[in-house]
Amino acid sequence: MKIAAPRETAAGERRVALTPDAVRILARDDIEVVIESGAGIAAGFPDAAYEKAGAAVSGLDAVLSADAVAVVRGSPELFARLDPACVLVGMLNPLGHPETARALADRKLTSFAMELMPRITRAQSMDALSSQANLAGYRAVLVAAAGMGKAFPMMVTAAGTISPAKVLVLGAGVAGLQAIATARRLGAIIEAFDVRPAVKEQVESLGARFVELDLETEGAEDAGGYAKAQSEEFLQKQREQLGQRVAASDVVITTALVPGQPAPLLVEEAAVRAMRPGSIVVDLAAETGGNCAVTRADEVVDLDGVRVLGPTNLPSEVALDASRMYARNIITFVQHLVTEGALALDLEDEITAGALLTHGGEVANERVRGLLEGGS
Residues belonging to the active site: 119, 124, 127, 130, 226
Query: Around Cβ 65, how many Cβ atoms within 10 Å?
Result: 16
**Residue type for 233, please?**
E
Taking a C-beta distance cutoff of 8 angstroms, is the pair 192, 168 a contact? yes
CA 123 to the chain's CA centroid: 16
- CA–CA distance, 348 with 316 (Å, rounded to integer): 34
What would the DSSP string read from start to end of 95-125? TT-THHHHHHHHTT-EEEEGGG---SGGGGG
Sheet with 166-170: strands ordered across: 209-210, 189-193, 166-170, 251-254, 280-283, 306-309, 300-303
Q: What is the enclosing helix (H) or strand (E) of 7?
A: none
- CA–CA distance, 8 with 235 (Å, rounded to integer): 38
Among positive and negative, which fits the CA dihedral 344, 350, 355, 356?
positive
In order of 130, 200, 203, the CA distances from 207 in angstroms are 21, 11, 7
| Cα angle for residues 80, 86, 91 (degrees, 5° grid) | 70
Nearest to 303 by CA among 316, 294, 290: 294
Nearest to 314 by CA among 344, 341, 339, 287: 287
- CA–CA distance, 192 with 341 (Å, rounded to integer): 47
- 20-27 and 319-337 are packed helices; what angle lies between their axes, rounded to 10 degrees? 20
Phi, psi dihedrals of residue 67, rounded to the nearest 5°:
-70, -35
- CA–CA distance, 96 with 79 (Å, rounded to integer): 17
